Amino acid sequence: MTIEQDFDIPDTGAVFTFGRSRFADNAPSKFWIKNDLIVEMACGDEHTAVITETGRVFTIGNNDMGQLGLGSTKPITKPSCVKALKPEKALHVACGRSHTIVSCGSGGVFLWGGNSDGQLGTGDLLDSLLPIEVLKLNQPALSVCAGSCHSLVLTAEGDIYIWGGNTEGQLGLAVDQQLLPHQLSLPQPVINITCGYYHTVAVTATGDAYSWGDGSEGRLGLCENLLALHTHPQQVPIAEKVVMVAAGNTHTLFLSARSRTHDELE
C-alpha cells in the first residue's frame, strides 16, 4: 500500500491535518507517501493537493466538481495519485474553492475541477474531471495561485497570466470573465503573487506591491482615492521594500526586505 497513515511517522515529509468538513471530523490526522517525500501542498475549500519529491500529485477531499482530478466526482478520504499527470514532473500547486492548478517542469500548466467562471482557462465554462493543459511556457512557472474562481501563473520572466471570474475586479481587466489565460502588464517584472477569494496582490523586482480586486475591509492596503480604481492594479503606498506577500480571504500580509526591531515598530 502506497499511503501509510498509522505508524512509523517519518522525520520529514509527513502532513498533519486539522479541521472539519462534510467529509471528515475535526480529529487531527496525518498522512505521507511511502518513499516519496511531500514537498508542497495546498488547500481549497474542502480539498487538498500535495506534490511529492518525484513530482507526483496526490489529492484528497470533496470532489463534487472534479477538483481532485481523478476522473470522477466521488469524494476521496485517502490521498490518491492524479494518474493523468504521471508523465509530468509537478513543481507547484494551488487550490481554489473547487478547482486545482499545477505547474510542471515541462513548462506546462494544468487545471481541473469547477469552471463556473472560466477559472480553468479552457475557453468555456465546462467543469473538468481530469487535468487539462492550458498554458505551455518556455520555462517552468515560478509559482501558481488561485482565488475562489480565478487563477494566476507567474512566469520565470516575471510575467503574470490571469483568468477566471472578475466580479470584484480581481483580474485587473475590464471584463466580466476571462475564459483564456491573459497576460497582465505591471510596470516591473513580478517576483511574487498571491490571491484572496476575490483580490489579487503582486510584488515586483523593485520591491513595490500592487493590489486589485475586492477592496472591502482594507484587504488591498489602499487609501481611499486609490480604492476607487480597485478594479485595476494599484501600487500599495508602503514605505518598505516588499519581498513576499500572502493573502487570506479578507486580509493581506507583506514581508519587508529589512528587519525592524520591536522599538521601531512601536
Per-residue pLDDT of the chain in tens (266 residues, 90 and over written 9):
344 445 566 666 565 565 565 555 555 566 656 777 888 989 999 999 999 999 999 999 999 999 999 999 999 888 899 999 999 999 999 999 999 999 999 999 999 999 999 999 999 999 999 999 999 999 999 999 999 999 999 999 999 999 999 999 999 999 999 999 999 999 999 999 999 999 999 999 999 999 999 999 999 999 988 998 999 999 999 989 999 999 999 999 999 988 654 344 44
**Residue whose cell numbers read 496526490:** 58
Q: Cell numbers at residue 70, please?
A: 481523478
The region that residue 11 occupies, defined by phi over 0 for left and psi between -120 and 50 for alpha, beta otherwise, is alpha
Rounded-to-integer distance, Cα 243 and Cα 106, Å? 27
What is the model's pLDDT at position 101? 99
Of 73, 69, 49, the residue nearest 59 (C-alpha): 49
C-alpha angle 44-47-50 in degrees, rounded to nearest 5:
90
pLDDT at 193: 98
φ, ψ for residue 92, nearest 5 deg? -140, 150
| Confidence (pLDDT) at 4 | 45
User: In terms of DSSP bridges, do strands 234-235 and 29-33 run parallel, antiparallel, or are they unpaired?
Assistant: unpaired
Cα–Cα distances in Å, from 116 out to 53, 123, 165, 214, 215? 32, 12, 8, 19, 23
Q: How many residues does the chain have?
A: 266
Residue 158 · residue 190 · CB < 8 Å: yes
How far apart CA 30 and CA 28 sit, in angstroms, is 7
**Which domains does the chain possess?**
1-146 (2.130.10.30)
What values do phi and psi take at 264, rounded to 5? -65, -30
Q: Would you state the pLDDT for residue 15?
A: 58
Q: Within 10 A of 3 (CB to CB), how many other CB atoms are there?
A: 14
Collect all residues with Cβ–Cβ distance below 8 Å to 56 and sequence separation of at least 6: 33, 36, 81, 82, 85, 86, 90
Sign of CA dihedral 70, 161, 103, 62: negative
Predicted local distance difference test score (pLDDT) of residue 8: 66
